[in-house]
Amino acid sequence: MLNLSGEKKKKVGAWLLLSMIGMLVLLPFAPAVVMAAEEAAVEEAKEPEKAKDVFYKEEGEFGIVSGPPAGELVYPDDYGSYGDFQSRTIIWISNQQHLYFGSFVLAVPMFVWVMELIGILQYEKNPKVGKKFDDLAHEMMKISLTAYSVTAILGGILIFSFLALYPGFFRYLSGIFKPVMHIYALLFILESGVLYVYYYGWDSMNDGNGDWKWSHLSLGTILNAVGIVLMVMANTWVSFMMSPAGVDAEGRFLGDIWKVMHNPLMVPVVVHRILGNAAFGGGVVAAYASFKFLSAKTLEEKAHYDWMSYIAMFMGILALIPLPFAGYWLMREIYAYRQQMGITLMGGLLAWVFIMQATMIATLFITVNYYLFQAMGRMPGSERYYKYFKVLLAILVVATIAWLTPHTLVMTPAELKAMGGAQHPVVGNYGVMSAKNTAINTMITTTVVSFIIYQRSNFKLTVPWAWKGNIFLAMLILGAEVNILFLGVYGYFIPANVRIGLSVPQVASTLSVLFIGVAVNTKMLKGAESIGEIRWGKMSVRGAYALFMLAVAFTWTMAVMGYLRSSVRLHWHVNEILRDNSPWAFTNPLGYAGNINSLNVLLFWTMLLFVFWLSALAGAGKKKVEAEEAAAAAVGKAVPAGSH
């Protein structure tokens, strides 16, 4: 047998690993090459029939017909059912559960990557802090690993549900996406391979901030890149169903898969989902840490999980802040694609679902602020700022009320008469976008102010220009809020097509406070005198529950908005191409939708608690072995080595 020295063994190992990953990276291209050759052969054989694209105009307007028409689905031949259950509800639940876990396992490696990078960069300055971040990243990855298996199982259930309940629709969609279906499956293998090497190689590749550690981080980069590509591909199916492209009016594939994937709503849906996943992932990890915080027995454990929940929450909020703007952009693109679709969503049939969403988003922002107020309990010196909480809360409540006000109400004729119309003469004015945008921007600005206060709560400023900095910050925040209000009011006096543009400077005002405000505040804290160390683990129990609330609100918002996005297709499987001819093509009553969304949230959290429990089980086993080893060492007895 080949006898290699330690260093050589490492090199051979590294090359083997690199070639394996290299092969896995190239694997997804194999079917594309085969298919390109097939297409070329078909093209040569006969004169191609050309047809007009439903979306692309001018250049690339015509494409070669490369697939069968969508046709007409017939009930019950093209649909399946289990007894009296609504097939649509089964698909709805399977989709939602797969999406929850998928989002979670996509988001966690993003955080893990950032945490590991911070750990490596910190290692040289302070190995203890570096290790703390590294351990945190490792622990987060452990939760994700179990969730990954659950995601794959749920994906399987989803495909089987499609095959059993919607075979006609599934046949059409998989026919259109045939050129990339295998790439998706092979990328999944690549993702799994990299994930396992990344997780199980964590300890053996850990040499602080040496070459192996950087190689390990590179694996994390590949893992995230593949994860995002997988998500983008899955998103293209969904956005194709909403806004098809690359097919003709009969639904025949026109030979260019990129046009199908790059449909009009693809990019905004992808951006919105990446941000949404990151916010959701942060919320779930924060909830996990809170769960551990609440059940911790020692102060050391409490301190660790308090810190972990704060970091996870912070990362989630970083994604949450731009999320409403990404959502606004998506809506704008929906209006640009089909105005009627936008109206159905925001001013018609589904407008009340938007009110439900508004309730959840307001809950999210109030909870974040509440958490920050509670978290200041662990900061010595924060008492100085308690008096401002009432003002901030009052602003949040007023903004929430404006944010929740519906445009019109469903009423009896007598009620209509008493109010003088479906729209209230005064309150009704708060039901339009000008007021909504003003409210959400105010809420975000207030949250940034809370964060600025949180940042400085246990410090005494020592920079000589502190007074100038304070005045500058006050004017920056005041100016932004005045501008947000001014643009909101101005919106009532101008036509809709100009008004829609006002949201951009409104957002820019909020972002100015976020970026300039936090940067100046951080600069002001340079060399500041500490009033006392942060007492990690001393946060109130209410703060930990607030993080649970945050995570559940994220989950519920995702359920509501997912339902909304999907329902906007109304009686179409693929908008204007493939009609839904099942008995479940109607739009659900609001109460039913609310119940199923709640059931989805409950189901997800039950499964997630199982995942948390599993990871705690592994941790408990490890601790037991360590305790036994320590006890044995104390009496000088030899014990077998414990496995990781």
**Binding positions for other proteins, rule: CB under 8 A:** 384, 460-462, 464, 466-468, 470-472, 474-476, 478-480, 482-483, 487, 497, 501-502, 504-505, 508-509, 512
Of residues 478 and 631, the one with the C-beta less far from other proteins:
478
Of residues 80 and 505, the one with the C-beta less far from other proteins:
505
Of residues 155 and 505, the one with the C-beta less far from other proteins:
505
Contact present, 567 and 589 (Cβ < 8 Å): no
Per the DSSP assignment, residues forming a β-bridge with 62 are 52
Of residues 360 and 453, the one with the C-beta less far from other proteins:
453
DSSP at 377: G
Contact present, 441 and 484 (Cβ < 8 Å): yes
Shortest Cβ 372–other proteins spacing (Å): 19
Contact present, 535 and 378 (Cβ < 8 Å): yes
Shortest Cβ 500–other proteins spacing (Å): 8
- CB-based burial, 594-626: b 16+ in 10 Å, e otherwise: bebbeebbeebbebbeebbebbeeeeeeeeebe
381 — alpha (psi -120 to 50), left (phi > 0) or beta?
left
For the chain, first and last CA: distance in Å? 28
Shortest Cβ 328–other proteins spacing (Å): 13
Shortest Cβ 398–other proteins spacing (Å): 21
Question: Distance between CA 453 and CA 640 in Å, rounded?
Answer: 53
Of residues 304 and 456, the one with the C-beta less far from other proteins:
456
Of residues 42 and 494, the one with the C-beta less far from other proteins:
494
Q: Which residues contact 499 (CB under 8 A, 6 or more apart)?
A: 433, 434, 491
Write phi, then psi, for 62 (nearest 5 degrees).
-105, 145
Write phi, then psi, for 161 (nearest 5 degrees).
-65, -40
Of residues 114 and 476, the one with the C-beta less far from other proteins:
476
Of residues 11 and 460, the one with the C-beta less far from other proteins:
460
Of residues 397 and 474, the one with the C-beta less far from other proteins:
474
Cα angle at 325 between 324 and 327, to 5 degrees? Answer: 65
Shortest Cβ 433–other proteins spacing (Å): 16
Of residues 357 and 470, the one with the C-beta less far from other proteins:
470
- Cα-Cα-Cα-Cα dihedral sign, residues 374, 376, 381, 382: negative
Cα angle at 12 between 7 and 17, to 5 degrees? Answer: 125
Q: At what angle do helices 87-125 and 299-320 cross, to 10 degrees?
A: 110
- Closest by Cα among 354, 277, 360 to 316: 277
DSSP at 468: H
Q: What are the percentages of helix, strand and coil residues in the chain, rounded to 5?
A: 75, 5, 25
Q: How buried is 228 (Cβ within 10 angstroms: 0-12 exposed, 13-18 middle, 19+ buried)?
A: middle
Of residues 529 and 626, the one with the C-beta less far from other proteins:
529
Shortest Cβ 316–other proteins spacing (Å): 28
- Other CB atoms closer than 10 Å to residue 148's CB: what's the count? 23
Of residues 36 and 471, the one with the C-beta less far from other proteins:
471
Give the residue ranges of DSSP H helices in 201-265.
Answer: 211-242, 257-261
Q: How buried is 545 (Cβ within 10 angstroms: 0-12 exposed, 13-18 middle, 19+ buried)?
A: middle
Question: Distance between CA 114 and CA 578 in Å, rounded?
Answer: 43
DSSP at 525: T
DSSP result, 490-514: HGGGS-HHHHHHHHHHHHHHHHHII
Q: Which two tokens stand for residue 502?
A: 């006002």
Of residues 298 and 497, the one with the C-beta less far from other proteins:
497
Q: How buried is 289 (Cβ within 10 angstroms: 0-12 exposed, 13-18 middle, 19+ buried)?
A: buried
Of residues 309 and 509, the one with the C-beta less far from other proteins:
509
